[in-house]
């Protein structure tokens, strides 16, 4: 379903490429994994599930930068081989219509609301969170593991909060 009021922001190509470089340097906090079951390893760059036999990189990522009370670092996956960054930013990614929790943050990175996707359309949940004028952005996360999936911004807000998060390897 297309939307005109928000856009999906996948992990940047710069961070995905950095993870690929770091795993090749044998960094202890970046693991190269061969996927063995469907639905186990979602790529945050192309926003699709890696398929059995594909290789992914598991690495730490901080969606909220350090120095804020809600800052946390958690594991995420990207394809080990280059993949196309999700580009249908005016459409909610089909692979993540279930199993997501949404956290609304203000411009100072404070959580101001959260909702779990319980059979609702994700677009409706996101629209509801953006009803609050203090909502600067919404992060989609795994409902079971809590891992960051992607960010959602209102249309017309170019960058969201002041500083984008980075992989720990880039800090």
Q: What is the pLDDT of residues 115-151, one digit of tens each?
A: 998 778 999 999 999 999 999 999 999 999 989 999 9
**Domain boundaries, given as residue ranges, for the chain:** 6-170
CA–CA gap between residue 169 and residue 69 (Å, rounded): 21
Determine contact, residues 61/167, Cβ cutoff 8 Å.
Answer: yes
The Cα angle at residue 20 between residues 79 and 84, in degrees rounded to 5: 45
Average pLDDT over residues 89-116: 95
Query: Does residue 169 carry a pLDDT above 80?
Result: no
Q: What tokens were used for 159?
A: 């960058």
Query: Does residue 171 carry a pLDDT above 60?
Result: no
Residue 12, CA distances (Å) to 47, 78, 80, 148 in order: 11, 11, 15, 13
Higher pLDDT, residue 73 or 161 = 73
Give the ranges where the chain is alpha helix by DSSP (H).
Answer: 13-24, 122-129
**pTM for this predicted structure:** 0.88
Residue 25, CA distances (Å) to 11, 21, 32 in order: 21, 7, 11
71 falls in which pLDDT band (50, 70, 90)?
very high
93 contacts: CB under 8 Å, gap ≥ 6: 8, 47, 48, 86, 150
Going through the chain in order, the beta strands assigned E by DSSP cover 6-9, 31-34, 42-43, 48-49, 55-64, 72-79, 100-105, 111-116, 137-142, 148-154
As a 3-state breakdown, the chain gives helix, strand, coil percent values, each rounded to 5, of 15, 35, 50
At residue 126, the pLDDT reads: 96
Determine contact, residues 85/45, Cβ cutoff 8 Å.
Answer: yes
């Amino acid at each position: 379903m297309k939307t005109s009021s928000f856009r999906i922001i996948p992990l940047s190509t710069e961070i995905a490429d950095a993870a690929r470089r770091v795993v090749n340097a044998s960094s202890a906090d970046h693991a190269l994994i061969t996927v063995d079951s469907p639905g186990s390893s979602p790529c945050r760059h192309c926003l699709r599930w890696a398929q059995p036999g594909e290789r992914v990189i598991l690495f730490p990522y901080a969606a909220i930068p350090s120095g804020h009370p809600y800052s946390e670092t958690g594991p995420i996956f990207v394809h080990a081989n280059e993949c196309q960054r999700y580009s249908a930013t005016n459409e909610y990614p089909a692979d993540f219509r279930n199993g997501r929790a949404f956290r609304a943050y203000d411009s100072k990175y404070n959580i101001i609301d959260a909702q779990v996707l319980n059979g609702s359309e994700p677009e409706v949940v996101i629209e509801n969170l953006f009803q609050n004028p203090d909502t600067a952005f919404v992060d989609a996360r795994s409902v079971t593991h809590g891992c960051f999936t992607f960010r959602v911004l209102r249309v017309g807000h170019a960058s969201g909060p002041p500083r984008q998060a980075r992989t720990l390897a880039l800090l």
